[in-house]
Amino acid sequence: MEFAGAAQAEPGASRPLTFVLCTLPSDSHMWNLVAMQLLIEEMGHTVRNLGACSPVALVLQECRAEPPDCVVVSTVNGLGGIDAARLITALRAEPELAGLPVVIGGSLGVHGEADADPSAELRDLGYDGVFPVGASAERALTRFRAFVAARAERVR
Ligand code: B12
């Protein structure tokens, strides 16, 4: 699958980052996870995709066992604005994971373009980046690519 504008990592430019990719326990959609995995891999990074309805306990276990450079939460069933709190609260409660970058994106409310932007609330809960698709998934994906490129630059 090709994503317009996806940057290919230049060999030797920076080390590949590792991502844990998950969704929320209530969300059974999986093609969003496949698409996000491909997008991140096309940028030259490594993804551990935890699959649909990712249990919070599994996310914690994966992050403890082998801390990634970033956790990406992808959710599209519209309940993300509600269900996202439990995951970030659990991650931030672990002292060794308190500084782990965690971002969330996708369809975060049930009213589409009419949804209030949940970014401030989710950031207050502890997410480092929020990428609601709102009216345009492409805009969210462009912002996300820039976020990933900036993280890769930091670990160079
Ligand atoms: C297939 C599908 C299903 C399948 C899922 C099968 C599977 N195993 O994946 C089934 C039938 C199980 C299903 C169930 C439900 N679904 Co459904 N489903 C869809 C459908 C038709 C396609 C989703 C899809 O695969 N898209 C393809 C992927 C590649 O695109 P994507 O998901 O949009 O992801 C992109 C962006 O969102 C964005 N993105 C996603 N995550 C992230 C993360 C970051 C960081 C960034 C930057 C971007 C990003 O980038 C992705 C790639 O472009 C959509 C409608 C639609 N046309 O989108 C509804 C839809 C997602 N479903 C919806 C709903 C409501 C449900 C149900 C609640 C229905 C019900 N009443 O039971 C249940 C929920 C089940 C649950 N517990 O989660 C709604 C969600 C409403 C909302 N968000 O406001 C939608 C939008 C349909 C609609 N118009 O109402 N669904």
**91 part of a folded domain:** yes
CATH code for the domain in which residue 127 is found: 3.40.50.280
Compute the mean pLDDT over every residue in the chain, rounded to the nearest whole number. Answer: 90
pLDDT tens-digit readout, 66-84: 999 999 999 999 988 778 9
Establish if 12 belongs to a structural domain.
Answer: no
pLDDT at 144: 98
Report how many domains make up the chain.
1
Question: What pLDDT is attached to residue 6?
Answer: 43
Q: Is the backbone of residue 6 left (phi > 0), alpha (psi -120 to 50) or beta?
A: beta
| Residue pointed to by tokens 């996870």 | 33
Inside any domain, residue 13: no
In a domain, 6, yes or no: no
Is it the case that residue 13 has pLDDT exceeding 80?
no
Would you say residue 21 lies in a domain? no
With respect to residue 9, please indicate whether it lies within any of the assigned structural domains.
no
Nearest CA to ligand 1 atom 79: 77
- The domain of 81 spans 26-154
Ligand 1 pocket list (CB less than 6 A) = 26-32, 35-36, 52, 72, 74, 76-78, 103, 105-107, 110, 112, 131, 133, 137, 140-141, 144
CA 44-48-54 angle, to 5 degrees, is 140
Cα–Cα distance, 74 to 133 (Å, whole number): 11
